[in-house]
Amino acid sequence: MTFQTWHNFNSQYVDLNSSTVNWCFELEKEHFPWPWQQSDWQNFTKNNRKYLLVSDEKRAFALWELDNHPHAYLLKIITKPDKRESGIASKLMTLSVDILRDLGFKDSSLEVQVDNKAAISFYLKHSWQQERRIKGFYANGQDAFTMVLKI
């Protein structure tokens, strides 16, 4: 079973390629306080790991790592600021979890910065459970909460 594929809202699969990761990089760079480097994004096209990216026409995306089946890991979920509170992120989360369930995944995890109240509230709304605090998880020294989701 191969998961190294991207999925968008119109139910078409798109190849994991430089063009796809470039728009993810640009969206993250514009709207995320600590974006990954472009080389980090390009590595997605070069390695043999398994990923799922669910996107909404370059306005938002959710990126999952799928190497530890039946456990998925949410790497990022990003929405353009002018589209926040529009329901796009909820659609991304719901569709992602449905796809993961169809692929046989049983649970997922993520880390979120402890002071990111909006993200924590979003995850709790989508049935994620806060599990533990990790001291100094982020490069800026901030702590993170680990959250888990039963799929």
pLDDT one-digit tens code per residue, 92-141: 899 999 999 998 999 999 999 999 999 999 999 999 999 999 999 998 89
Say how far apart CA 16 and CA 102 lie, in whole Å. Answer: 20
Secondary structure of residue 31 in the 3-state scheme: helix
pLDDT one-digit tens code per residue, 12-23: 445 567 777 888
Number of independent structural domains in the chain: 1
pLDDT value at position 119? 95
Q: What is the dihedral of CA 96, 98, 100, 105, to 10 degrees?
A: 140
Q: What is the domain extent for residue 70?
A: 5-150
pLDDT value at position 53? 83
Secondary structure of residue 17 in the 3-state scheme: coil
pLDDT value at position 15? 57
Cis before 70? omega within 30: yes
SS3 content of the chain, % helix, strand, coil (to 5): 30, 30, 35
pLDDT one-digit tens code per residue, 3-47: 334 444 444 445 567 777 888 888 888 887 778 888 888 887 777
Adjacency order of strands within the sheet including 5-8: 13-14, 5-8, 51-55, 60-68, 71-79, 107-113, 144-150, 129-134
Say how far apart CA 126 and CA 149 lie, in whole Å. Answer: 9
Q: Mean pLDDT, to the nearest integer, of 75-86? A: 86
CATH number at residue 47: 3.40.630.30
